[in-house]
Amino acid sequence: MVNADKVKRKLPSLLSDDSITDKVIHARHNRLQYRLRQLKKKNPAKFNTLLNKLVADVSEVEKTLEDTA
């Protein structure tokens, strides 16, 4: 079962493709966090819709992996 709160917390890390130990990549990670907070603040319906789609996709991947195992 996919935890929506955990996905919400990990979303900036999921969107970045590198480790955040580098200064530039860390700044990009912080910018992503800020932009997600602004989207949630200014358009919560859109944020929740996108989050629900993401959780559904992750759940589908998880179910597929369980079925193949």
pTM, full prediction:
0.76
Residues 11-62 have pLDDT tens digits of 887 777 777 677 888 888 889 899 999 999 999 999 999 999 999 999 999 9
Q: Could you give the CA distance from residue 15 to residue 17 in angstroms, rounded to a whole number?
A: 6
Structure tokens at 33: 């966090």
pLDDT of residue 59: 92
Q: What pLDDT, on a 0 to 100 scale, did the predictor assign at position 29?
A: 84
pLDDT at 1: 78
C-alpha dihedral sign at 9, 15, 21, 27:
negative
Spatial CA neighbour of 57 closest among 16, 5, 7, 10 = 7
* Contact predicate 16/25, CB 8 Å: yes
Ranges of each domain in the chain: 4-68
At residue 39, the pLDDT reads: 95
